[in-house]
């Protein structure tokens, strides 16, 4: 299997390169904002079309602003595509879904196996705990360089809670950035709090709070390599798949 990496010169890109080689795959090259990086782990190619042509599958951990264009480029040539960029808007996610009508795409908020089990458990807990009695709050913390908030994983947790309650995150309503006299908490809404500091890889806590009990579920990531390992696993799983929009639940046999 030949794997290309968009964002190869970054922290995640370097880990993806290492995990690609560890899996016995061929690292064909990558994309980087700095095309002259002599220390990149593979040749820097000029554009996404060239990278796709050289690869059987491309893994993209770049930026939300490039996600739709890269997914469309993959769809145009029918190449599988793994997307791990976070902070996509609803319009960008819709464009990725449209591209998936013509090629196989794994798009996940988080590629760690434990997080995806966390999401499945969150949905089941939400189905069992009535929103009129149990308020759902999601607290996440990441390193100080992270530019989007709440994190993609936190949003995925919110969506899992909403699905368990038979609704959507948009319909349920969200609460975040509370400051000053905000009024009472809305019943059935899903709260978010984002913390930033130091070099925390990723920490997420889902709290269901009722008058008589609190239930908290927490996942902590200590090494970004777990995301790279999961993304390379997803790349291998995509080989021979029919067009469609998949996530890590499918890769892990949970979907």
Active site residue 204: no
Catalytic residue chosen out of the listed positions 70, 79, 142, 204: 142
Is residue 146 part of the annotated active site? The answer reads yes
Instruction: Please identify which of the residues 63, 98, 143, 146 carries the catalytic annotation.
Output: 146
Give dist(CA 245, CA 93) in Å, integer: 11
Pairing of the two strands 81-83 and 2-6: unpaired
Alpha-carbon separation of residue 108 from 31, 96, 127, 144 (angstroms) = 20, 12, 22, 22
**Catalytic annotation, residues:** 142, 146
């Amino acid at each position: 299997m030949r794997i290309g990496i968009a964002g190869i010169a970054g922290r995640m890109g370097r880990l993806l390169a290492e995990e690609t080689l560890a899996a016995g795959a061929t690292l064909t090259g990558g994309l980087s904002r700095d095309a002259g990086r002599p220390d990149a782990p593979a040749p820097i190619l000029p554009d996404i079309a060239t990278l796709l042509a050289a690869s059987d599958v491309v893994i993209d951990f770049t930026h939300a602003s490039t996600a739709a264009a890269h997914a469309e480029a993959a769809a145009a040539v029918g190449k599988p595509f793994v997307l791990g960029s976070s902070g996509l808007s609803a319009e960008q996610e819709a464009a990725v879904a449209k591209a998936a009508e013509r090629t196989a795409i794994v798009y996940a908020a988080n590629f760690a196996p434990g997080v995806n089990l966390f999401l499945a458990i969150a949905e089941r807990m939400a189905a069992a705990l009535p929103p009129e009695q149990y308020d759902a709050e999601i607290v996440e913390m990441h390193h100080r360089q992270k530019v989007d908030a709440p994190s993609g994983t936190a949003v995925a947790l919110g969506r899992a809670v909403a699905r368990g309650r038979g609704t959507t995150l948009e319909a349920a309503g969200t609460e975040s950035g509370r400051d000053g006299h905000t009024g009472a908490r809305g019943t059935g809404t899903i709260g978010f709090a984002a913390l930033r500091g130091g070099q925390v890889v990723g920490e997420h806590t889902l709290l269901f709070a009722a008058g008589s009990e609190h239930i908290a579920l927490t996942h902590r990531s200590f090494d970004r390599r777990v995301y790279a390992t999961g993304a390379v696993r997803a790349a291998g799983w995509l080989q021979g798949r029919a067009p469609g929009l998949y996530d890590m639940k499918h890769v892990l046999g949970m979907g």
